[in-house]
Structure 1
Amino acid sequence: MPIISRAGWLAHFIAFISGSLITLSLAPFNLWPLAILSVALLYLGLDKLGQRAAMARSWWFGFGLFASGASWVYVSIHQFGSAPPILAGILTLLFVAGLALFFIPLGYLWARWLRTNNAFFNIFSFAALWVALEIFRGWFLTGFPWLYLGYSQTSSLLRGLAPLGGVWLISFVLALTATAIVYTYQHRILGTATLCLIWLASTPLVLINWTTPSSKPLSVLAVQGNIDQNMKWDSYRLSYQLALYRDMTIAQPRADLIIWPETAVPINKDRAEVYLAGIQAWALRQESGFITGIPMLLPDETGKTYYYNGVTAGALAQGDYLKQKLVPFGEYVPLQDSLRGLIDFFDLPMSDFRPGPKEQSLLSLKDQKIAPFICYEVVYPDFAAGLSAQSNVLLTISNDAWFGESIGPIQHLQMAQMRAIEAGRWMIRSTNNGISALIDPQGKVITQAPQFEQTVLTGNVIPMQGLTPYLRFKSWPLLILISFLLASAFLLAKKYKKTISR
């Protein structure tokens, strides 16, 4: 038996390293074959383990993944939450260790209920279990849909699967590939045949164009103000920020659409009406549409007012949008009655937002519909698909200054690329300090602005029409498939365990 399949600390350490390989498969490293190797090592490591050992093994794997891929939260806690380095380090460790708990059910369910003596069923049921838990992680307690396996393929031939079934279908195929590779050693014919079937069926999909242009290209101007996070909510620097975005905008040639990033106007919309009216009047004279991120203070049906993270459009563009998917601790504080006041991190500016309503109209520019995603929202696959299906162009605005000079903003950009591929639409990404970019329907970054600079991104996007299969059906076909595979594996495993117990 190989060391990786045994119980013990050495094998757990190998699992930790295996989990970190997924981070290396993602941006900015983009060593995408490591995604397959990572899952193959985990699968091999769980092959002979009992329930408790399998739970520990899968936790160490998840700990390696999140410690390497999500520890950028330290920047937010220490630099912007004013926590001392030791406290910030402890909170970061607790954060990534807590996220690793999502992997414990994988080890338990596999060892207790789904592992069989049938190589064919094992290949498919493990891949189904992997994706089921990715989907669960994106839903439970508002979700943390970050570091999905499928994001590693934004530049590989497997990206053609995204318009068919989204990022989770790619994750499924990668996990299938990983388990099939393991079986090429034990069952060479079965493993090789499965690998050939998977890749021969998947790679031609990249040649299909699911959507077509709906109008002529639109010229875009995205202003990147690079406002330091420490001054963003400083009332003494408000005039400077508003003047900066105004002056950077009017110094540029005319564009069909002018975009400012998330909370570029850092005061409530009702307080900024005069300022916005001036910008919109100028944009109207230019025959342009104008869109900016801005907080809003609005009443509910009882008349009580709440803060919302929003987007407003003016001049030739129209509509308002309120963010639905909020960032824990950044935009709202779970258990705030207990946590408020403990440390500055739990009292960040504008951390008392409410989620917007589920049914909202899109933004528009003349007869073209624009699907807006504010920061974190773009990382939710099925949520994004619901808005994208109604649109011609995708727009995500963000303030990634929270991530500092970490890999977080680059990972965030890669997820926006995947949303463009899934929808078959152009994506405009406008951020405070980078990475602002224009992304085509194949997920290719056509142009981008450098990080940490005051600059203006210009270029053209093409409004698209038509629905990819993923926009039409979302993840329901995949959910049905993995439910069938898991149910079949459960029944087979139950029958197998009854047989060996006699």
Structure 2
Amino acid sequence: MASLLQRRGAGSILALLAGALTTLTFAPFNLWGLGPMALAVFYVVLQKVSLRQALWRGWLFGVGMFGSGASWVYVSIHDYGNTGGPLAIVLTVLFIIATALFVVLPALLYRLCAASRLNIVAFAGAWALSEAFRSWAFTGFPWLFLGSAHVSSPLASLAPLGGVYLVSLVVALSGALLAGLVLSRTWWLIAPLAALWLVPLALPTQWAEPAGDDVTVSLVQGDLAQLSKWTPDGQRDAVNTYFSLTRQHGLDSDIVIWPETALPMLEQQAMPFLQRVQSTLPADSTLMTGIMQRDQNGMFYNSMISLGEQPGQYRKAHLVPFGEYLPLEPLLGGLLRIFNIPMGNIGAGSDDQPPLQAHGLRLGVAICYEIVYPDLVRARAENANALVTISNDTWFGHSIGPLQHMQMAQLRALENNRYLIRATNNGMTAIVAPDGHIVGQAPRFEPAVLYGAVRPMEGLTPFTRTGSWPALLLALLMLFCGGILRSHRRNQNAH
């Protein structure tokens, strides 16, 4: 390995390939064991290089990661954003270049803080902190967190304990230990490496208990064409499709759920029809649907509403940049036309909205992209005994995007030990158990209704109680220890 790295450009090529390798850890490939291997290579290429080289290799690792794992961006821009092929390629490349900059951060932190004795722990802390920064900076892009791939791995029990960042921390630590084992043949590193993967097997994955009877649900998937959905013909098709599917398959359910913007119209226009559908259901049944709302000031909201005996609403609080709002709109207003955003003035709901309630379920809501934010969903789960997420993954087409999106939703269920109900427009409509495993799923790319049952869960996981802070404090401590030792050594050398 050392001789290979000495060849000109070899380290840069390895960084790029290792970044691309991470995509195979996620759905639909689910080769989670490759995550530590990819970070082992990344750890190796950061050794004995200048700070400038480390930053360059960090960026290349990010290019490989997002260039392969987030390639679905092209589908959204080109196929559904009415953007020509050449421009769509340019915008996708710019997106990859920009997001890859996030991976410069762990390279920077590691090179600034690493000392020879604590290189391994400093690297793991730097990686976990960089993922947390990515979930926050510029409204966040918490996609491709390495911990998200471990719903079914031996590390799964760490998710309800400390969330996705704790899992990512252990993946990064495993990768650095593996690299140290191979490079220096320090055989005692086998012991901590084995402990990282064996100890979680003895930990519980369930911290919450069922507390109530089964609640039956029907998730209606209309599979409507995105490009014609908002035309008059598309609106009529949506009304007919959802009414027909609900009448045929949803009459025996306690709750009927339609996906994000199931009806391509405003709530005021859709309400007479929704009330008609509600009236066809049994008296104690509840219809829930995603819908666009507009307030008296003309502001639009991407919302979910419930009818029936306990009506309520939830307005999406965390909006998608370049999808639901345009960052720096006064400066970048021209991009609004390029991205074809039909409603540039979509507003954000408050962060403290109560759960929607029906049949003993207190449903913490996340609309589409919100489900990928671990601490946002944790806050919803704290006052809820089940979770519901609605999405329009039609924007991803037949790419791997919806499969990755579903996997992250599964981890949210596991982190909080809550049943998760997921209704989408054209696929990955599913019911997820509190252990993160899918117990029912509708076929993709066709109209369908998924019928199943969920149970209210009471009791909070450690992650639901505390959020991500304990895991991030541990990561910071690991990085800090490396920095302290490095500073001490510099002082010794100075004397």
Using the size of structure 2 for normalisation, the TM-score is: 0.96
| Maintained 8 Å contact 1:340/1:347 | no
Q: Judge which range, 463-472 or 9-18, deviates more.
A: 9-18
Equivalent in the alignment of 2:225: 228
Displacement after TM superposition at 1:340 (Å): 3.7
Using the size of structure 1 for normalisation, the TM-score is: 0.95
Which digits, 9 at most, give the CA deviation of each residue in 1:234-253, with x for residues without a partner? 13421221121111101114
Q: Judge which range, 24-33 or 481-490, deviates more.
A: 481-490
Secondary structure at the aligned position of 1:126 is classed as: helix
Structure 1: runs of 5 or more not aligned: none
Equivalent in the alignment of 1:12: 12
Secondary structure at the aligned position of 1:457 is classed as: strand
RMSD over aligned CA atoms reads: 1.6
The whole-number CA distance in structure 2 between the counterparts of 1:4 and 1:281 is 71
Residue identity opposite 1:420 in structure 2:
A
| Highest RCO, 1 vs 2 (Cα 8 Å, sep ≥ 6) | 2
Displacement after TM superposition at 1:354 (Å): 1.1
2:124 to 127, 142, 149: 127
Equivalent in the alignment of 2:61: 61
Equivalences for residues 110-121 of structure 1 within 5 A: 110-111=110-111, 113-118=112-117, 121=118
Residue identity opposite 1:115 in structure 2:
A
| Maintained 8 Å contact 1:82/1:344 | no
Equivalent in the alignment of 1:335: 328
Equivalences for residues 479-498 of structure 1 within 5 A: 479-498=472-491
| Maintained 8 Å contact 2:431/2:441 | yes
| Maintained 8 Å contact 1:162/1:422 | yes
Q: Judge which range, 491-500 or 434-443, deviates more.
A: 491-500
Equivalences for residues 90-489 of structure 1 within 5 A: 90-111=90-111, 113-118=112-117, 121-185=118-182, 186=184, 188-205=186-203, 207-252=204-249, 253-283=251-281, 285-299=282-296, 304-342=297-335, 344-489=337-482
| Maintained 8 Å contact 2:23/2:65 | yes
Q: Judge which range, 4-13 or 156-165, deviates more.
A: 4-13
Equivalent in the alignment of 1:25: 25
Residue identity opposite 1:66 in structure 2:
F
The whole-number CA distance in structure 2 between the counterparts of 1:55 and 1:277 is 57
| Maintained 8 Å contact 2:254/2:359 | no
Residue identity opposite 1:114 in structure 2:
C
Identity of counterpart residues, as a percentage? 40
Displacement after TM superposition at 1:4 (Å): 5.9
Residue identity opposite 2:269 in structure 1:
R
Displacement after TM superposition at 1:341 (Å): 4.3
Residue identity opposite 1:174 in structure 2:
V
| Maintained 8 Å contact 1:81/1:344 | no
Equivalent in the alignment of 2:86: 86
The whole-number CA distance in structure 2 between the counterparts of 1:150 and 1:342 is 34
Secondary structure at the aligned position of 2:387 is classed as: strand
| Maintained 8 Å contact 2:218/2:452 | yes
| Maintained 8 Å contact 2:80/2:226 | yes
| Maintained 8 Å contact 2:154/2:197 | no
Displacement after TM superposition at 1:342 (Å): 4.8
The whole-number CA distance in structure 1 between the counterparts of 2:49 and 2:156 is 34
The whole-number CA distance in structure 1 between the counterparts of 2:113 and 2:257 is 50
| Maintained 8 Å contact 2:169/2:475 | no
Secondary structure at the aligned position of 1:446 is classed as: strand
Equivalent in the alignment of 1:71: 71
Displacement after TM superposition at 1:176 (Å): 0.9
Equivalent in the alignment of 1:45: 45
The whole-number CA distance in structure 2 between the counterparts of 1:96 and 1:246 is 41
Residue identity opposite 2:255 in structure 1:
L
Residue identity opposite 1:44 in structure 2:
V
Residue identity opposite 1:199 in structure 2:
W
Residue identity opposite 1:50 in structure 2:
S
- Report the count of equivalent residues: 493
Which digits, 9 at most, give the CA deviation of each residue in 1:280-303, with x for residues without a partner? 2223x352111100011124xxxx
Alpha carbons of structure 1 residues 138 and 208: separation in structure 2 relative to 1, 3 Å: closer
Displacement after TM superposition at 1:330 (Å): 1.3
Which digits, 9 at most, give the CA deviation of each residue in 1:353-404, with x for residues without a partner? 1111112111001332001110000000011101011111111100001001
Which digits, 9 at most, give the CA deviation of each residue in 1:27-78, with x for residues without a partner? 0001111101000000011011110000001100010000000011101111
Displacement after TM superposition at 1:126 (Å): 1.0
Equivalent in the alignment of 1:36: 36
The whole-number CA distance in structure 1 between the counterparts of 2:65 and 2:466 is 30
